[in-house]
Amino acid sequence: MCKRLAFDEGTDSVSPMTSVLPSTEWWRSAVIYQIYPRSFADSNGDGMGDLLGIRDRLTALTELGVDAVWLSPFNTSPQNDAGYDVADYCDVDPLFGTLNDFDSMTSRAHELGLRVIVDLVPNHSSSEHRWFQEALAAPPGSPERDRYIFRDGLGENGELPPNNWDSVFGGRAWTRTENPNGSAGQWYLHLFDSTQPDFDWDNPWVRRQFEDVLRFWLDRGVDGFRVDVAHGMIKADGLPDWTPSSAGGSMGGAGTAAGADVSEAAAADARAAARAPFWAQEGVHEIYREWRKVLDSYDGERILAAEAWVDPLIDMAKWVRPDEMHQAFNFPYLETPWDAAQLRTVIDASINAFSEVEAPSTWVLSNHDVVRHASRLALTAENPQGHGIGPESAGLPIPELGLRRARAASALMLALPGSAYIYQGEELGLPEVIALPDDARQDPTWFRTNGERYGRDGCRVPIPWEADSPAYGFGPSDAAWLPQPADWAPLARDAQRGVEGSTLTMYTLALALRRAHDLGDGELEWLDAGAETVLALRNGDVLVYANTGASAVVLPAGEVLLSSGPLGDAELPADTTVWLRG
Ligand code: NOJ
């Protein structure tokens, strides 16, 4: 149970923090900047980013021109999955500071006009959470065990896991417990690491706890929640065995494509039947309808954003029906290669699917779980989400090509109507860090696959602020929880600030133009691009041309508002996006 602010306890000495910012369906067009607290800014020199570090660096984000920040988890946690293993949902881990630091950071953000979205991890807790420790100590069948998914094992002595499910991070999704007398006991389910037991969301007790958690943070003035694994909380009855088809990434996907000659309803049924029994089950929607009521009872348009890896987009759109969440991360867009035809298809599919349920489309190219797009867009070998890249990976990117494409892709993304997400450091053009030493890696994926998958550390390296300071100004000492590359000085924010042609300048200009021309609330119209490799569109009075091909094309006439790279003489070079006044 979360201890809420004093007004909850019958005194009126403290009033709930209101979201002081005006509510105008801001989330439909907002640019939301993802802060990964471990790696954003460190105030005390221990090598780990923290809340006061964030607070003191927020003006860099207002200067960049974003509308909101989303913070990955900073709750109490043993950090087995970098904080996505929560041991207390209503407190701050000492690594990141205190609840007072959180309040101070939030007030500062609001003062600066930035909204604050926090991460909520409801699919699983940490195995160190009191609720799970109590469940382990209680006997099978007890109310404590019913909070999580405990089952007897199969086989003569229960020595086999209850079903064949695998963990997203590799290995099986079940771990056997030990009884107090030392004998082997029941098994518990964990779709992720063994230290992340899944809750049983069919249990009303679990639902009540999380309503309290929502209110706890809403009372503190947060503007919304990014909901982790929002497609995973309900499991199919009976927990049936499941063998994945080759389609679909580790976090979900449709499994099979339905035939073209069946009705949409029949196709949707076929997709649902092919889906893993732990992803995208109908029952999750009821949870979000309840949550939406809680959020709507607060002022200031607080929002829910779903991390739901559900394909295709028409199925993902169910998460953002009018009485459910506000936004869902557009992973199909993130996963689309730098290719005009495929981009056009996914952009159309996104706008159609989301507008069908009156939700905005969102756009995202990078986050803390994927290879940074300044590297990913130039990979030449297949690289499934979550596997990461390292020194021995096949098809490693050419850095200059990756950066050129990333800038062009970002310039395209920021011109699209809807809401866009930026992952910290992409505005600096940061690449994935490939050469991390093995002993520095921390992602559970790395350990659970015995190093077969590098995992996600390469996109989580502390970001550079000052070219000439220790740890590039990440904090006051030279400590950084993951080593920063020796050649990052030119990428530091102060080395790029105000410098013509820098990636930071491009992002800053794009966001200013996006706001001035109201692109987030605009409408997209495709134009004849004149070449197959080029995407051409109009959003209001801005024309956008993105050349995804390997050779230059003719640059249409017009006043250039923004360019992702140098323009040739009347030419739009390869891997370049330009905005023209329409
Ligand atoms: C998705 C989060 O983004 C990722 O970082 C985490 O490992 C898994 N969910 C499990 O919580």
Model pLDDT for residues 126-158, shown as the tens digit of each residue: 999 999 999 999 999 999 999 999 999 999 999
Does residue 81 have its Cβ closer than 6 Å to ligand 1? yes
DSSP assignment, residue 208? Answer: H
pLDDT at site 11: 40
CA distance 200 to 322: 26
Ligand 1 pocket mutation pick from 369, 446, 457 by most atoms within 8 angstroms of CB: 369
Of all residues in the chain, what percent carry a pLDDT higher than 90? 90
Angle at 459 between CA 455 and CA 463, to 5 degrees: 145
| Tokens (6 digits) for 380 | 């030449």
Q: Peptide bond preceding 431: is omega within 30 degrees of 0, i.e. cis?
A: no
Cβ neighbours of residue 125 closer than 8 Å, sequence gap 6 or more: 85, 86, 87, 89, 131, 132, 196, 197, 199
What are the tens digits of pLDDT across the range 35-87?
Answer: 999 999 999 999 999 999 999 999 999 999 999 999 999 999 999 999 999 99
Mutate to test the pocket of ligand 1, among 38, 228, 233 (most ligand atoms within 8 A of CB): 228
Predicted confidence band at 249 (pLDDT cuts at 50, 70, 90)?
very low
> For residue 265, what pLDDT is reported?
85
Residue 201: beta bridge partners? Answer: none
Distance 460 CA to ligand 1 centre (A): 13
CA distance 499 to 494: 9
The number of helix segments (H) and strand segments (E) in the chain equals: 15, 20
Tokens standing for residue 517? 């021309």
The pLDDT value recorded for residue 24 is 83
pLDDT band at residue 13 using 50, 70 and 90 as cut-offs = very low
Model pTM? 0.95
Q: Residue 250: pLDDT band by 50, 70, 90 thresholds?
A: low
Q: Is the pLDDT confidence value at 18 over 60?
A: no
Whether 97 has a pLDDT exceeding 70, the answer reads: yes
Distance 84 CA to ligand 1 centre (A): 6
Q: How far does CA 93 lie from the centroid of its chain?
A: 20
Phi, psi for 148 (deg, rounded to 5): -120, -175
Question: Cβ(198) to ligand 1 under 6 A?
Answer: no
pLDDT tens for residues 529-561? 999 999 999 999 999 999 999 999 999 999 999
Q: How far apart are CA 477 and CA 457, in angstroms?
A: 21
pLDDT score at 4 = 74
- Segment 304-328, tens digit of pLDDT: 999 999 999 999 999 999 999 999 9
CA-to-CA distance for 230 and 325, rounded, in angstroms?
10
Percent of the chain with pLDDT over 70: 94
Ligand 1 centre from 25 Cα, in Å?
Answer: 28
For residue 8, pLDDT beyond 90 = no
Q: Name the average pLDDT for the chain.
A: 94
Report the relative pairing of strands 419-423 and 31-35 from DSSP bridges.
parallel
The answer to whether 471 and 479 are in contact (CB under 8 A) is yes
Query: Is 455 a residue whose pLDDT tops 60?
Result: yes
Residue 261: what pLDDT?
A: 58
Q: What angle do CA 292, 295, 297 make, to 5 degrees?
A: 110
Q: Any bridge partners for residue 303, and if so which?
A: 224
pLDDT at residue 264, rounded to an integer: 82
- The answer, yes or no, to whether residue 12 has pLDDT greater than 60, is no
pLDDT of the residue at 273: 83
> What is the model's pLDDT at position 260?
47
Is 121 close to ligand 1, i.e. is its CB under 6 Å away?
yes
Ligand 1 contact via 119 beta carbon (within 6 Å): no
Rounded to 5 degrees, φ, ψ at 359 are: -105, 155
Residue 525 has pLDDT above 70, yes or no: yes
How many angstroms is it from 229 CA to the middle of ligand 1?
Answer: 7
For ligand 1, is residue 191 a contact (CB within 6 Å)?
A: no
- Which ligand 1 atom is the nearest neighbour of the CA of 124? 11
Ligand 1 binding pocket mutation candidate from 229, 368, 446 (most atoms within 8 A of CB):
229
Report the chain's C-alpha Rg in angstroms: 24
228 lines ligand 1 (CB under 6 A): yes
Check whether 19 has a pLDDT greater than 70. no
User: Helices 399-413 & 503-516, crossing angle to 10 degrees?
Assistant: 10
DSSP state of 317: G
- Rounded to a whole number, what is the largest CA-CA distance in the chain? 80
Six token digits for residue 516: 């001035």
Give the whole-angstrom CA distance, residue 221 versus residue 16: 7
**Residue entry with tokens 């020199």:** 45
Calculate mean pLDDT across residues 424-439. Answer: 98
Mean pLDDT lowest among 251-260, 396-405, 441-450? 251-260
**CA of 81, closest atom in ligand 1:** 7
Kindly state if the Cβ of 575 falls inside 6 Å of ligand 1. no
How far is the centre of ligand 1, averaged over its atoms, from the C-alpha of 73 (Å)?
10
CB-count burial class (<10 Å; 0-12, 13-18, 19+) for 237: exposed
Whether the predicted pLDDT of 10 surpasses 80: no
Would you state the pLDDT for residue 244?
Answer: 84
CA atoms within 13 A on the CB side of 138: 16
